[in-house]
Homo-oligomer: A and B are copies of this chain.
Amino acid sequence: MPRQITAFSNSTVKLLRSLRDKKARRSEGLFLAEGLRILTEARDSGRLPEIVAFSPEGAKHPLAAEIIAATEAAGGDAVETTPDILSKMSGKDNPQMLLGAYRQPDTSLERIDRSAAPLWIVAQALRDPGNIGTILRTGDAVGAGGLILIDDSADPFSVEAVRASMGAIFTQEVAAARWPDFLAWLRSGEGELVGTSLKATHDYLEAEYRRPCFLLIGNEQQGLPPEYEAECDLLVKIPMAGRADSLNAAIAAAVTAFAVKASWR
């Protein structure tokens, strides 16, 4: 049976609230996902929350009831609470009526099986958690295996990133590594490193991409550092028709990833 909690001072409420903060996510090893759609995506991918919190309204949906029951059956904690408290947890005025705290997966590079997918997205020093989530969502749609975050990056398990991923945080692999460690890992097996650069001579639509393709996207402000470009096996250029000389990082990732996929048809 779910516990009922109506006090803001309750320790589970405090724990869930704290997960909006990166330090707490680190120390607890948990992250927050909100809403029936994303929690259903998680469940369909074989993932259940360690804690599920919901309003009486939220528990009424049959899919929500299933997730709550499955969480309890797996030894997790199910907590019925008020919309006000859910609002405090999610930091939104109109909170979702269902949210879950999930165990963070191991993000070490060694866990990645590069043969599991023909395409992997590698992003360097992304600052915007929304971009990380959007790239995960795009990766799922384009059939990528996952996202490898290089150097200091926004947290892929932040509420904003999870929200923007629309559930892809549960379906895409996520790894994090420093650049030298990534390079060593990359060169220890098959794989072509492809960067996008305005200085490239290959048009992105005419290049030949080999599998597995590791698509390297630069940071929002500076793009790829020259020494990172120098390590690429292939540099491709997306022609810019207007005045601007760059695309948003998540857009560049998507346009290139879909072009790579199209080239394989």
Chain A residues in the interface with B (C-beta under 8 A): 41, 44-45, 130, 134, 137-143, 164, 166-168, 171-172, 205, 238, 240-244, 246-248, 250-251, 254-255, 258-259, 261-262, 265
> Is the Cβ of A141 less than 8 Å from the Cβ of B247?
yes
Q: Would you call B168 and A244 a contact (CB within 8 A)?
A: yes
Could you say which of B137, B250, B258, B261 contacts A244, with CB atoms under 8 Å apart?
B137
Q: Of B205, B242, B254, B262, which is within 8 A of A251 by CB?
A: B254
Q: Which residues from chain B contact A172 at a C-beta distance below 8 Å?
A: 242
Contacting A250 at CB < 8 Å: which of B45, B241, B251?
B251
Which of chain B's residues has its CB closest to A205's CB?
Answer: B262
Residue of chain B at shortest CB distance from A130: B130
User: How far does the alpha carbon of A166 sit from the alpha carbon of B240 in the complex, in Å?
Assistant: 14
Flag if A167 contacts B243 (CB, 8 Å). Answer: yes
Minimum C-beta distance from A19 to chain B (A): 23
A240 closest partner in B (C-beta): B141
Nearest CB in chain B to that of A117: its residue: B241
Chain B min CB distance to A101 (Å): 21
Q: Are A243 and B137 in contact (CB under 8 A)?
A: no
Q: Which residue of B lies closest to A245 (CB)?
A: B141
Q: Which chain B residues border A238 with CB–CB below 8 Å?
A: 141, 258
**Which of A41, A166, A258, A262 has the most B CB atoms < 10 Å from its CB?**
A258
Who on chain B is nearest to A242 by CB?
B140
The answer to whether B244 and A167 have CB atoms under 8 Å apart is yes
A206 to B137, CA, bound (A): 24
Give me 18 other A-B pairs in contact (C-beta within 8 A), A141-B247, A248-B250 excluded.
Answer: A134-B250, A139-B242, A140-B242, A140-B243, A140-B244, A141-B238, A141-B242, A164-B248, A166-B246, A166-B248, A168-B242, A171-B243, A172-B242, A205-B265, A250-B251, A251-B251, A255-B255, A258-B259
